[in-house]
A and B are shown apart, each in its own frame.
Chain A
């Protein structure tokens, strides 16, 4: 006689436990990323914004690109307005993940989200 070792329900329980364990380990290892949005105009960084510290609306008119309006709010950042004809930068929408980038070519303005989670600061 063939003995059925595992019932379907047992497999589900074991799989769920394994998934929870893996999820927990990943969460522990990755931690919460401290994201920084770096704004540069014509190749030079003009401002950086710690996204995790931004809760209420912050309006930024970057130095060197006065016709651009950037807004940071609730851990996200976006081009809200620009004098450029195509408004591609505004259409790019919200940036909030490491590596997210939006460019306004006519205004030579770039926003990049970096995952600069700092371990320490020297001074």
Chain B
């Protein structure tokens, strides 16, 4: 990975280049992060009165059932998304290089479109699809003679997570698709040409050339997937409000509720720090798995 090279500028020069970006970043992200870390040691409802309570907030966090339930919900969304978003997006990206696939231009153009729409629109539309009485889904099941499959998709705590995850996966496939499409252009054509001469089928080329060449893109995509899905909130809020009960509550909604509905800013900060720690943990795990495969 690390490279010494003749063209390397002096370190001082490198730092100078990094400075403007780092400065803005430190000011907007790192300083407030430290402030949030500090708040998490206080009982604070957002005014001049702050009581230092040590690690109490974190002790409460570890015993907080709703927090852990929301974490499990996030985990579920992440796993589904890695398979659904990254997986399907890659598949489509590959398919769009195949000669027998029709309407490529149309697919390439429109698959990204859901990304530009607000979560309210997506959430609202899917609520209608799931609606028990006149929703498209139950209607189709009925028409297909599958009456026994008809369910209250958003009202049954045991299936609600699956129901709310599908729209999220669906909406962001286009996002990963353009990431893969842009990365695939960086793969030298010569590799494919050489493979063709060797008589490799197109799927073999995908397996032996595209996949390995996109390794770091996969890593970035999975990381974005984890990072993005640890923060999802709006869609689910529009569809279920986090219910029934707290069965579809995710961490970001919980952090928001604690800070802004309950007004417990100290504990809210602890929730946010907890989220950050768990996200970091997940990313580390994914990186270790990724590295393990390489060796």
Q: Do A and B bind each other?
A: no
